[in-house]
């Protein structure tokens, strides 16, 4: 009697394994359902996986920056936000020829501009150091007009200093945001027109 017990258990285990394999091959049983569900969820996902196994989101198309004009509403001054002096207007124009130009509230300026890399869309309420896209401004050329208001000259120096620090741009709530390469807020401007 003891001799047949191990043999019966072996046969029972073998029958269970064979039955599970047949059911899986024929499309029956829970194992086949799990496989179908997994395949469906992979096919409908919107992310991609690169060769290193990293999951990435598809590239977002950057808003058009060329042929746009902006007027500054706030800018960074000593770590806090300030508005331009009353009666002065700080502007930015991104021209078709790859330059940026505008007014410092006193003088006119221009520089080359170049954007590169993917555009990371701004999500309200989620600060992300990679928001937007890399932008580089070349050396600024500035007219040398003296302004009657000494405050305008001081503001011009502050604004030019900020333009020289610009490293990223993005659009938030319809406004242009310029930040430094280390994600510090520099300038917010609203569209003209």
HEC sequence for the chain: CCCHHHHHHHHHHHHHHHHHHHHHHHCCHHHHHHHHHHHHHHHHCCCEECCCCCEECCCECCCCCCCEEEEEEEEEECCEEECCCCCCCEEEEECCCCEEEEEECCCEEEEEEEEEEEEECCECCECCCCCEEEEEECCCEECCCCCCCHHHHHHHHHHHHHHHHEEEEEEECCEEEEEECCCCEEEEEEECC
Same domain for 37 and 72? no
All residues at 6 or more sequence positions from 185 whose CB lies less than 8 Å from its CB, including other chains: 76, 81, 177, 179
Residue 63 near residue 56, CB atoms below 8 Å: no
Same domain for 126 and 39? no
At 25 the pLDDT is 52
- Domain contains 53: no
Domain region containing 84:
68-191
Same domain for 104 and 157? yes
Residue 164 near residue 141, CB atoms below 8 Å: no
- Domain contains 143: yes
At 14 the pLDDT is 53
Same domain for 83 and 156? yes
Same domain for 184 and 101? yes
Same domain for 84 and 157? yes
Q: How confident is the model at residue 164 (pLDDT cuts 50, 70, 90)?
A: very high
Q: What is the mean pLDDT of the chain?
A: 78
At 54 the pLDDT is 55
Q: How far is it, in rounded angstroms, from Cα 99 to Cα 163?
A: 13
At 68 the pLDDT is 97
Same domain for 141 and 90? yes
At 5 the pLDDT is 43
pLDDT tens digit sequence for 1-57: 444 444 444 454 454 544 554 455 555 544 444 333 322 222 222 333 444 555 455
- Domain contains 54: no
Same domain for 87 and 24? no
Number of domains in the chain: 2
Reported as half-sphere exposure (CB side, CA atoms, 13 A), residue 3 has a value of 0
Residue 119's alpha-carbon distances to 16, 25, 58, 134, 183, in angstroms, are 55, 46, 10, 8, 15
Q: How far is it, in rounded angstroms, from Cα 18 to Cα 38?
A: 24
- Domain contains 165: yes
Q: How confident is the model at residue 148 (pLDDT cuts 50, 70, 90)?
A: confident
At 59 the pLDDT is 63
Of 58 and 171, the structure prediction assigns the larger pLDDT to 171
pLDDT tens digit sequence for 91-123: 999 999 999 999 999 999 999 999 999 988 877
At 16 the pLDDT is 58
Same domain for 101 and 32? no
- Domain contains 122: yes
At 3 the pLDDT is 43
- Domain contains 55: no
Same domain for 40 and 110? no
Same domain for 79 and 35? no
Q: Residue 159 is part of a domain; what is its CATH number?
A: 2.40.128.270
Same domain for 181 and 102? yes
Residue 70's alpha-carbon distances to 51, 95, 102, 176, 182, in angstroms, are 41, 12, 9, 8, 23
């Amino acid at each position: 009697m003891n001799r047949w017990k191990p043999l019966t258990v072996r046969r029972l285990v073998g029958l269970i394994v064979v039955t599970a394999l047949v059911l899986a091959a024929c499309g029956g049983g829970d194992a086949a359902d799990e496989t179908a569900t997994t395949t469906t969820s992979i096919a409908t996902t919107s992310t991609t996986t690169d060769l290193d196994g990293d999951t990435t989101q598809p590239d977002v198309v950057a808003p058009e920056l060329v042929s746009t004009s902006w007027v500054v509403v706030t800018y960074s001054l000593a770590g806090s936000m300030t508005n331009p002096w009353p009666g002065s207007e700080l502007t930015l124009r991104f021209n078709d020829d790859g330059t940026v130009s505008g007014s410092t509230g006193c003088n006119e300026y221009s520089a080359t501009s170049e954007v590169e890399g993917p555009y990371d869309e701004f999500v309200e309420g989620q600060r992300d150091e990679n928001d937007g896209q890399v932008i580089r401004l070349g050396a600024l050329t500035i007219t040398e007009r003296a302004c009657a208001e000494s405050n305008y000259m001081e503001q011009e120096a502050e604004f030019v200093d900020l333009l020289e620090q610009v490293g990223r741009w993005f659009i938030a709530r319809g406004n242009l945001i310029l930040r430094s390469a280390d994600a510090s807020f520099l300038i917010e401007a609203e569209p003209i027109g």
